[in-house]
Amino acid sequence: MNSPDSLRSPVKNARGLGSARSGVHHFIVQRATAVALLFLTVYLVVLLVSLIGADYSQARAAVGHPCNAVLLVAFLLAMFWHGKLGLQVVIEDYVHTPGRALACQLVVVFACALAALASVLAVIRIALGA
Amino acid sequence: MPPVARPLSPHLQVYRWQIQMVTSILHRASGIVLSVGAFVLAGMLLALASGQEAWDCARGLLASWPGILVMIGFTWALCYHWLNGIRHLVQDAGWGFSIPAFVRSSWVSVIGSVVLTAIVCAVAICCGGVA
């Protein structure tokens, strides 16, 4: 706390410790990705059902079609982002040991980021015919 | 853990079960299940990009009976999380907070997810799945 005769503004002590301007960031991104997934999930289910019975080359051709590739990448990014935000809250709620909680959060972030990068790269490779 | 054993609020076991808490618990549970499903989907895309051999192997796993059961489970989790997610977005907008509306929308999520799962599975079977 500031002593009464300090020349420091109280803002100096509060800055960086609170949620000013970023407190609802998690909430908003979770809702924004949810709205995106509301539509992209329907698209994904339709795509997957349409691929039933498809052989390897047909599946590759479908995933590699520019429209499908773009929508799939959008779905993958929204999904892993939304999943990361959700798992983060689960860990915040149930893991109470600070060190273990930090380790869990890092595992979730790294796993989601790696899976998102790998799956997006897979779609791009298929789309570009690699 | 805190060094002092402070009193805690009562946990799940002391409450009478009601549909509102079922929807809340299922939303979180289905979200965790879908996170696993996300990695399965990523694995399938990697297999598809890797080549015919990897694809046949991954496809064989999902087409086995345990694989089909897991896929049905993912389908239900997706249907439930999707329906109840719409319910949450509606509530975020400030609608449906009266107790009767809350209970009604909870039942719509739970029963609707089973109906939706049945529809998706039926369409999948009609398209030649589980053959």
Residue B15 lies in a domain: no
Helix pair A66-94, A56-64: axis angle to 10 deg: 90
pLDDT at A99: 95
Q: What is the CATH classification number for the domain harbouring B39?
A: 1.20.1300.10
Q: Where are chain A's structural domains?
A: 30-127
pLDDT tens digit sequence for B98-113: 999 999 999 999 999 9
Residue B8 lies in a domain: no
User: What one-letter code names the amino acid at B74?
Assistant: F
B123 touches chain A (CB under 8 A): yes
User: What one-letter code names the amino acid at B82?
Assistant: W
pLDDT at B36: 98
B127:A123 CB<8 A: no
Under 8 Å between Cβ of A38 and B85: yes
B128:A52 CB<8 A: yes
Rounded to an integer, what distance in angstroms lies between the CA atom of residue A48 and that of residue B34? 16
Residues in chain B closer than 8 A to A49 (CB atoms): 120, 123-124, 127, 129
pLDDT at B131: 52
Rounded to an integer, what distance in angstroms lies between the CA atom of residue B10 and that of residue B50? 51
Residue B82 lies in a domain: yes
At B1, the pLDDT band (50, 70, 90 cuts) reads low
Average pLDDT, chain A: 92
pLDDT tens digit sequence for A50-80: 999 899 999 999 999 999 999 999 999 999 9
**Three-class SS of residue B96?**
coil
pTM of the model: 0.88
A30-127 maps to which CATH number?
1.20.1300
At A9, the pLDDT band (50, 70, 90 cuts) reads confident
Per the structure, the complete domain to which residue B95 belongs is given by 22-126
pLDDT tens digit sequence for B9-44: 777 778 888 999 999 999 999 999 999 999 999 999
Section A115-121 average pLDDT: 98
| Residue B4 φ/ψ region, left for φ over 0, alpha for ψ in the -120 to 50 degree band, beta for the rest | beta
pLDDT at A121: 98
- Reading the block at residue B8, the tokens are 């805690």
User: What one-letter code names the amino acid at B46?
Assistant: L
At A2, the pLDDT band (50, 70, 90 cuts) reads low
At B83, the pLDDT band (50, 70, 90 cuts) reads very high
B1:A96 CB<8 A: yes
Number of structural domains (chain B) is 1
Please check the confidence at residue B124 and state whether its pLDDT lies above 90. yes
| Residue A122 φ/ψ region, left for φ over 0, alpha for ψ in the -120 to 50 degree band, beta for the rest | alpha
pLDDT at B9: 79
Rounded to an integer, what distance in angstroms lies between the CA atom of residue A129 and that of residue A66? 11
Section B38-51 average pLDDT: 97
A49:B78 CB<8 A: no
Under 8 Å between Cβ of B15 and B21: yes
Please check the confidence at residue B52 and state whether its pLDDT lies above 90. yes
pLDDT tens digit sequence for A22-47: 778 999 999 999 999 999 999 999 99
How far is the CA of A35 from the CAs of A52, B89, B90, B91, in angstroms?
27, 8, 11, 14
Of B42, B49, B127, the CB nearest to A126: B49
pLDDT at B4: 81
Q: Give phi and psi for A3, each to the nearest 5.
A: -75, 150
Under 8 Å between Cβ of A90 and B28: yes
At B78, the pLDDT band (50, 70, 90 cuts) reads very high
Under 8 Å between Cβ of B108 and B87: yes
**Three-class SS of residue A53?**
coil
Residue B1 lies in a domain: no
Under 8 Å between Cβ of A50 and B127: yes
Residue from A74, A43, A115, A72 nearest B35 by CA: A115
Helix pair B65-92, A25-50: axis angle to 10 deg: 140
Residue B3 lies in a domain: no
